[in-house]
Chains A and B, each alone.
Chain A
C-alpha cells in the first residue's frame, strides 16, 4: 500500500520525503546535490604503500559513454589518515581505462590513506552530449584498486571495486554528499578465523567525526567489545585484529552512524592474503 502511494508521487516530492525525519534514518546522502559544470562523483578509495603495491584502474567515463577514445584529464587527490590533503597527481589519456601505479611521491610520502578520482574534459567534447551538458547525467567513479604484497612471489594484483563515498573536489576543497544518520550495525557475512591476521580499513567520507564501535560475536553468542575508535572528517583508520583462540572464532560487527558503514578487509595468513569489501 505504502509503495503504491509512493509510486504515484512526483519524483521531487518523493526525494523530499526521503530526506525528512523519520524517513531519512538510513538515507546515506545529503538532500542538496550540487549542479556545476563538469561535476563528477568519486568513491573514497584506499591506497597502501606500506607492505603492498597499489594500482588504480581509472575509468575514462566520457570515452566509455561515447564508445570511442576521448582525451581525458584524470586527477587524483590523496588524503592522509587524518583527513588532510597530502598529494595530487594528474595525467592526460585517451584510453578507456588508465592504470595508475600509486607511489609515495604522489601521496606526499604517506604510506596509507584515501584518494578520489576526478575527470575533466574539454567543453567542446562535453557539449556534443546534450544530456551531459544539461547535467542530466552525472559521471560517477567507482573504479578498481589492485593490491599486491611486496613479498609476493608471483605478480598478481587482487582487485577491489569502489565501496562508497560520493566525494568530489570543488574550488580547492574535498566535499562529500555522504552524511551520518541514525546508528547502524554492520555485520559482514564472514567468519573471523583463529590464526589469521585481519586489517579492517574504515574511512569517514563525511564532514563530522565518525565513531565506530567494533564487537566480536563469539561462537557462544556472547558479545565481546574489542575497540571504539574515532575518525576525523575525510580521515581513515586501519584496525588490526588477530586471535589464536578457537573459542573466539565468530562474526565481527560494528556500529556507526553511516547508513553504509562498509570496511575493506585484508585477511592474511602470513604468506597469502585475501582482500574484500565487508
Chain B
C-alpha cells in the first residue's frame, strides 16, 4: 500500500495544507527511523485529461515539509495531488498517468503512510492524519457515506462535504459526475452536486436533526471530508473524514459486509 496526499481549494478563504515528515509514522523500534524522498505536486484542471506539474519539493536538510493550497493558485474544487517519490524519479512537466507513490513503510507495522492534512480559516485550524490510498485511485468505484459528522446544526454553522476524487490512471475524456444527498428514511434525493474526475466535489448542506441523510455517488469513489464552522471568523473549525462502510464490520467480515451494505443502499437510492 502506498498513498497520495492532496491540497484542495474549498473556498471561503479556507487554506488546506499538508505536513509530512521524513520520519516513519509507525515502525518497529529496531527498524530505520527515517526515509529520504521528495514530493511531486500535480494538478489536473477542469477540462484537461493531463496532469500538470506544479512543484517538486525536497527536504533540504529539514525534517518536515509543509505545503499550502494558497501557494498554487488553485480554483475552487481543484486538487493538487502530492506524491511522495524516490529522489531519483524524473518528474515530467506533463503526464497522462500519475506515478505510483513511494512506499514509506519499513516493516509490517500497521497504519497507512499518512501526513497531517489541515484546514485553516482565520485563526482556526483543524487537522487529521490522512491520505488517499493508491489502490483507490486505480478504480472508478462508487461512494456511500452517512451523516454521522453532521451534528453541528446550530444557527450560523456552515457545513460542507468535500468529496476528494483521484483517478491516477489514464483518462480518454473528462466526464461530469453527480454527488447526491438523500433522505436516509425515504431514500429520496434532497440535493445534487456536479463534479468531474480528479477534483473535489463541494456540497454545502443544512444539518437538520430530524432529517437523517446519506451521501452517495454511483459514478466514482471518493474520500469524504466533513467541514463545519460558524460564520463568525472567531469560531473553531471541525474537520474529519468518515469511515468507509467496511469499518462497520470487524476482521475477516469487512469485505463481505462492505459489499452487502453498499449493494443494499445503492439499489434503494435512485
Query: Closest CB of chain B to A268's CB: distance in Å?
Result: 11
CA distance A108 to B107 in the complex (A): 42
Question: Are A253 and B235 in contact, CB atoms less than 8 angstroms apart?
Answer: no
CB distance from B16 to the nearest CB of A (A): 14
> Counting CB contacts under 8 A, is B50 at the interface?
no
The interface residues of chain B, by DSSP majority, are classed as mixed
Within 8 A of A (CB), among B116-169: 116, 118, 123-129, 146-149, 151-152, 154, 156-157
Q: Which residue of B lies closest to A249 (CB)?
A: B64
CB-based contact A139/B250 at 8 Å: yes
Whether the Cβ atoms of B19 and A139 lie closer than 8 Å is no
A162 to B242, CA, bound (A): 10
A26-B240 in contact given A185-B27, A189-B21, A251-B21 (Cβ < 8 Å): no
Q: Is the CB of B251 within 8 A of A156?
A: no
Of the listed stretches A53-61, A120-128, A202-210, A237-245, chain B binds: A53-61
Do B28 and A146 have beta carbons less than 8 Å apart?
no
The reply to whether the CB of A99 lies closer than 8 angstroms to some CB of chain B is yes
* B-contact 0/1 string along A86-106, CB 8 Å cutoff: 000000000111010000000
Interchain CB contact (< 8 A) of B19 among A28, A189, A253: A189
Q: Kindly provide the distance from the CB of A167 to the nearest chain B CB, expressed in whole angstroms.
A: 11
Of A75-83, A110-118, A259-267, the one with at least 4 CB within 8 A of chain B: A259-267
- A184 with B109: in contact, given A140-B250, A154-B156, A277-B128 (CB under 8 Å)? yes
- Say yes or no: B264 contacts A154, CB within 8 Å: no
Least CB separation from B148: chain A residue: A57
Q: Is the CB of A66 within 8 A of B249?
A: no
Cβ-neighbour of B236 out of A28, A156, A184, A219 (below 8 A)? A156
A276/B116 in contact, CB under 8 A: yes
Q: Would you give the shortest CB distance from A190 to chain B, in whole angstroms?
A: 5
CA–CA, A25 and B27, complex, Å: 11
B253 in the interface (beta carbon within 8 A): yes
- In the assembled complex, the Cα of A168 lies from the Cα of B152 at a distance in Å of 29
Bound-state CA distance A87–B114 (Å) is 36
Q: Which of B25, B29, B252 contacts A188 (CB 8 A)?
A: B25
- Name A140's closest neighbour in chain B (CB-CB): B250
Cβ-defined contact, B248 with A59, below 8 A: yes
Chain B neighbourhood of A260, CB < 8 A: 26, 110-111
Measured CA separation A61–B247 after assembly (Å): 11
* Closest beta carbon of chain A to B178's beta carbon, Å: 20
State the CA gap A175–B90 with chains docked (Å). 51
- A-B pair number, CB within 8 angstroms: 211
For chain B, the bracket of interface size reads 35 or more
Within 8 A of A (CB), among B14-31: 19-21, 23-30
Which residues from B are CB-within-8-Å of A55? 151
Q: Classify chain A: how many residues form its interface, as a range.
A: 35 or more
Taking the complex as formed, is A186 at the interface, i.e. its CB lies under 8 A from any CB of chain B? yes
CB-defined contacts of A271 to chain B, threshold 8 Å: 123, 234
Contacts of B212 in A (CB 8 A): 95-97
Contacts of B243 in A (CB 8 A): 142, 161-162
A187 B252 Cβ-Cβ under 8 A: no
Among B184, B228, B249, the residue within 8 A (CB) of A156 is B228
CA distance A188 to B152 in the complex (A): 28
Q: Which residues 53-72 in B have Cβ within 8 Å of A in the complex?
A: 63-64, 66
Query: Closest Cβ of chain B: how far from A33's Cβ, in Å?
Result: 7
Q: Which of B21, B66, B125, B253 lies in contact with A187, CB distance below 8 A? A: B21
User: Which residues of chain A come closer than 8 Å to B148, judged between CB atoms?
Assistant: 57, 59, 97, 143-144
- Say whether A166 contacts B250, CB under 8 Å: yes
Q: How far is the CB of B125 from chain A (nearest CB, A)?
A: 5
A170 at the A/B interface (Cβ < 8 Å)? Answer: no
**A133 contacts the other chain (Cβ, under 8 Å)?**
no
Residues in A whose Cβ lies below 8 Å from that of B26: 184-187, 259-261
Q: Give chain A nearest CB distance to B161 CB in angstroms.
A: 13
Residues of A at under 8 Å CB distance from B?
11, 25-26, 28-29, 33, 40-41, 55, 57, 59, 61, 64-67, 69, 95-97, 99, 131, 136-140, 142-144, 146, 149, 152-162, 166, 182-191, 217, 219, 221, 250-251, 253, 255, 259-262, 267, 269, 271-278
